[in-house]
Amino acid sequence: MNQKEWLVLEKRVTGWIKEAGERLKQSLSAPLEVSCKSAHNDLVTNMDKEIEKFLVGKIKEYYPGHKIVSEEGFGDAPDSTDGILWYLDPIDGTINFVMQQRFFAISIGVYENGSGRAAFIYDVMVDELFHCLAGNGAYRNDVRLAPLKKVEVEDALIDLSATWIKPNRRIDQDVLTEIVRRCSGTRAYGSASIELAYVAAGLIDAYFTMRLSPWDFGAGLILIHEVGGVATRADGTAIDTLSRTSILAAGPALHEEIAQHIGRQVAAGKYLNEPD
């Protein structure tokens, strides 16, 4: 697509996302239908499905040749990144949506032949849209985000869930304890797309997780790159945007320091298992 078509896409998607956000807000005044998927903490609601159907319908109507990678099954499950691919999570942070009625987002990332081109992460309850067209700057609503500044571990606010520093099957619980001890503080917001947007906005300095799916990180990676940040798997290797993966995202220097720390720990015998 040419630049003009990307600008049109940006305008359209912004409209769809705001409409979807309004539906989500209104849905909170009536009881939700909540059910479990793979586990007791893996929830889905009627609204996850309704919003995905709504957005997939819009994408298919305006862009019938494009493919969609989405969480709730209304997309296409493509096996190649050729052409234009949409990464769509209708509610990122479903547990927050159900339990807190805040801190959840609609996340949409659009890639062309594997390159991130457009990103939209809409934090519904605070009406905050993190967005960018690659090369045109990243924005938090209409405020342009600054390039990421260099931050030392000692001054860094690092976002990671306690899941990864207690016994689990993906990362030895001790791998990150030194970083957690040294850093300025930790946070865990429970919505990966918002957490990636917060790194891009400089509100937190790094985000780490061992378990994300393409629809969780598709948009966030584009924002991170747009502000000069780096996102890789936990061991510093490249992310495959069609697979479940670990993610470490930060400014370049902090990213390198944490990735090297993880590398040394793994070389010393601590385990790191990519999601299966």
- Give the one entry of Ca ion, ligand 2AM, none that residue 190 binds, where binding means its C-beta sits below a cut-off of 5 to 8 angstroms depending on kind: ligand 2AM
- Indicate the residue among 161 and 232 with the shorter CB distance to ligand 2AM: 161
Whose Cβ is closer to Ca ion: residue 96's or residue 232's?
96
Q: Which of 10, 52, 89, 257 binds Ca ion (CB under 5 A)?
A: 89
Compute the residue count for the chain.
276
Q: Pick from 16, 98, 97: which is nearest to 57 by CA?
A: 16
**What distances in angstroms separate CA 127 from CA 8, 104, 141, one per listed residue?**
21, 11, 8
Tell whether 121 is in a known binding site: no
Task: Indicate which of Ca ion, ligand 2AM, none lies near residue 211 (CB less than 5 to 8 Å, by partner kind).
Answer: ligand 2AM
Asked if 22 is part of the footprint of ligand 2AM (rule: CB under 6 A), the reply reads no
Integer Cα distance of 253 and 57 in angstroms: 41
Residue 191 near which of Ca ion, ligand 2AM, none (CB within 5-8 Å, type-dependent): ligand 2AM
Name the region of 184 (left: φ>0; alpha: ψ -120 to 50; beta: rest).
alpha
The single residue listed with the structure tokens 């320091």 is: 257
Q: Does 216 bind Ca ion (CB under 5 A)?
A: yes
123 binds Ca ion (CB under 5 A): no
94/232 with CB nearer ligand 2AM:
94
Give the integer Cα–Cα distance in Å for 11 and 45: 28
In sequence order, what E strands does the chain have? 34-36, 43-45, 67-70, 84-92, 105-112, 115-123, 128-133, 138-140, 143-144, 157-160, 185-187, 206-212, 230-232, 245-250
Stretch that binds ligand 2AM, among 19-27, 110-118, 133-141, 184-192 (CB under 6 A): 184-192
Residues in binding site for Mg(2+)? 71, 89, 91-92, 216
User: Interface residues with Ca ion (CB under 5 A)?
Assistant: 71, 89, 91-92, 94, 216
